[in-house]
Amino acid sequence: MTHRNPAAISWMVERQHEYVLRAVEERNVKLIRLWFTDVLGQLKSVAISPIELENALEEGLHFDGSAIDGFSRVQESDVLAKPDPGTFELLPWADGGSTGRMFCNIFNHDGKPFEGDPRHVLRRNLGKLRDAGFEMMAAPEMEFFYFADGDPQSPPKPLDSGGYFDLTTSDVASDLRRQTISVLEQMGIPVEYSFHEDSPSQHEIDLRYTGASEMADQIMTFRLVVRELALERGHYASFMPKPLAGMQGSGMHLHLSLFEGDNNTFHDDDTPYHLSKTGQQFTAGLLYHAREITAITNQLVNSYKRLVVGYEAPVWVGWARNNRSALVRVPVTRPDKHSSTRIEFRSPDPACNPYLAFSVIAAAGLKGIQEGYELPEEASDNLFELDQRSAKKLGIAPLPTSLAEALDEMERSELVQEALGEHIFEWFLRNKRDEWRSYKAHVSQWELERYLPRW
C-alpha cells in the first residue's frame, strides 16, 4: 500500500517550516534561539530574529566553529547549523514567552554531518540499534542542588537547611521545584516524580521515558530550565556531581529498555525477574564495557568523588535486583506491566554530555546483544561491603576511581572509539588529559590542612 512519494516527503518538510513560521508570527515571537551542544555537553545558542528565520530553516546558518569546544579542526572551522523544525518550542519563562528555540544539526560545507556534533553521534549510534531492530527508551532521575549563590570562592551554601542558611526556609526550594516542573510540563517534558533528596537542598526530578534521542534533547532543556528559574529568584542550581564533601552527590540514574515496535524486548515472562535474554545481554554489555565508557558518563574530576563507598553510588561493576550500590539494578516490576521492565544504570551523573553518554551506552549494550555476552552472577548484598582485595578474589572489577584512570580505560577502547568517532574521541581525550593535568598540579585545602602542620 505504501508507495513512496517524494513530493509528499518534501511537502512534509515544507509543512514543518510553515508551522514554525506561522507559530512565530501568531505568537509574536521576537527571538529564536538556535541550540546545539558542544563536545563537553555545554548548551550553545545563536539567536536570530524572525526575519532571518525562513532563510535559517531553508539554508541553515553558517558560523565559525573554532570558538566552540570540540568543534575546531585544523583545516576548516566553518560549519552549518540547520534547525530541526520538529523541536520548535517557546521558552515560557524567557521574555514573557516571546522567545522560541530549536535544536540544530551541524553540517560541514560539503553537506555531510559534522563529526564533532554530539547530536549527530547519537543519531548514528541509535541508527545502529535501529538496524538491529531496537529503539532505545530512556528515563533519567535528575539530581541537583539549589544553592544560595554560584560563587566558587566559598563553599556552596544550601538553600533549605536552616543551619546552613537561615535567611530562607525549605519552602523556597520546594516552590522553586514546583515552578520548574510546571515550566517543564508546559514545554512537553512530562515529569514522573519529584522529591527532596537526602542531602540538604538536594532535589530530584524524574522524567518520563521517551526515545533516547529525544531524551538527550530534553536533558539539555531540563538543565537550562532548572538553572534559569533558580537564577530568576537569585539562587543557583548546580548539577556538579559532588558539590558538598561528606554529603550525597548528584547522580543521573538512567532507566533503559529496548523496544521493537510495541514490544518491550527486555520483558520475558519465562525468565527470572522477567528480564529477557536481550535484556540480560544488553546488561552484560554495559557491565563488560563499564570501565571503558565511564569517562563519558562521568566526565569531571569531581565525578569520581561521587563514586565512593558509603553514599549509595556504584563503586563495583556488578548488577543486582535491590542493591543500591550496584552499577546496574533490575527493578522489580508489576507482572502485568510488560512495558515497564527495564534496567537502571546508576553510574552516570548529571554533568555528562547526554548525547555522548547515550551513544556509548547504546554501543556497549548492542555489543552485548550481538556478541551474545553472558550475564554474570547477581552480586550478593554484602559484596559491596567487601574491600578491594576480597573483590579481586571474586573477580569483581571496580569502576575507575579517578578521571585519569577512566581516560586510560577509554583510550584503550575500540568500542568507545567507534561509538564516538575519531574526531570526538581524540578531542575528548586531549581536553580531559589537560583537565587532569591541571587538577594534579593543584594543591588543595585538604593537603594544606593535613600536611602543613606536620611537615
Partner 1 sequence: MAESFVVFPNPPPSDLARALDLDGHRWTAVSSSTELANAEPEEGFTGAIIVADEQADAAWALCRDLRKRDVPIEPLLLLVSGNQLEELASRDDQYDDFIITPFHPRELDARLKHLLWRAGRGVRPELIEYGPIALNVETYQASLEGRPLDLTYMEYELLRFLTAQPGKVFTRETLLNRVWGYEYYGGARTVDVHVRRLRSKLGEEHANLIQTIRSVGYKLGQSRWG
Binding site for partner 1 (CB under 8 A): 1-9, 11-12, 15-16, 18-20, 22-23, 26-27, 85-90, 92, 97, 130, 135, 137, 185-186, 188-191, 208-211, 214, 259-262
Give the burial string for 40-79 (b: 16+ CB within 10 Å, else e): bbebbeeebeeeebeebbeebbebebeebbbbebeeeeeb
Q: Which of the 8 DSSP states describes residue 339?
A: G
Positive or negative, the Cα torsion across 301, 307, 313, 319? positive
Sheet strands (E) in 227-378: 236-238, 252-260, 263-264, 319-320, 328-329, 343-345
In this complex, which beta carbon is closest to partner 1, that of residue 19 or of residue 451?
Answer: 19
Give the distance from CA 353 to its chain's centroid: 5
In this complex, which beta carbon is closest to partner 1, that of residue 109 or of residue 208?
Answer: 208
In this complex, which beta carbon is closest to partner 1, that of residue 29 or of residue 307?
Answer: 29
Query: Do residues 245 and 322 lie in contact, with contact meaning Cβ atoms separated by under 8 Å?
Result: no
Report how many helices (DSSP H) and strands (DSSP E) the chain contains, helices first.
Answer: 13, 16
Q: Which of the 8 DSSP states describes residue 77?
A: -
In this complex, which beta carbon is closest to partner 1, that of residue 130 or of residue 392?
Answer: 130
Minimum Å distance from CB 264 to partner 1? 9
In this complex, which beta carbon is closest to partner 1, that of residue 30 or of residue 324?
Answer: 30
Residue the block writes with cell 548492542: 366
d(CA 323, CA 379): 8
Minimum Å distance from CB 448 to partner 1? 50
In this complex, which beta carbon is closest to partner 1, that of residue 102 or of residue 159?
Answer: 102
Minimum Å distance from CB 13 to partner 1? 10
d(CA 36, CA 224): 13
Minimum Å distance from CB 105 to partner 1? 16
Cell of 287: 557491565
Residue 147: strand pairing partners:
158, 236
In this complex, which beta carbon is closest to partner 1, that of residue 45 or of residue 263?
Answer: 263
In this complex, which beta carbon is closest to partner 1, that of residue 209 or of residue 428?
Answer: 209
Minimum Å distance from CB 279 to partner 1? 16
Minimum Å distance from CB 436 to partner 1? 39
Cell of 41: 555537553
Closest CA to 61 of 86, 76, 83, 40: 83
> Which phi and psi (to 5°) does residue 61 adopt?
-125, 120
Query: Do residues 169 and 179 lie in contact, with contact meaning Cβ atoms separated by under 8 Å?
Result: no
Minimum Å distance from CB 19 to partner 1? 5
Give the distance from CA 21 to its chain's centroid: 31
In this complex, which beta carbon is closest to partner 1, that of residue 2 or of residue 444?
Answer: 2
d(CA 253, CA 206): 9
Minimum Å distance from CB 380 to partner 1? 35
In this complex, which beta carbon is closest to partner 1, that of residue 23 or of residue 247?
Answer: 23
CA-angle at 401, arms to 396 and 403, nearest 5°: 135
d(CA 43, CA 407): 23
Minimum Å distance from CB 22 to partner 1? 5
Instruction: Map residue 46 onto helix, strand or coil.
Output: strand
Closest CA to 125 of 424, 416, 363: 363
Give the distance from CA 326 to its chain's centroid: 19
Query: Do residues 147 and 238 lie in contact, with contact meaning Cβ atoms separated by under 8 Å?
Result: yes
Minimum Å distance from CB 77 to partner 1? 32
Minimum Å distance from CB 124 to partner 1? 14
d(CA 238, CA 351): 9
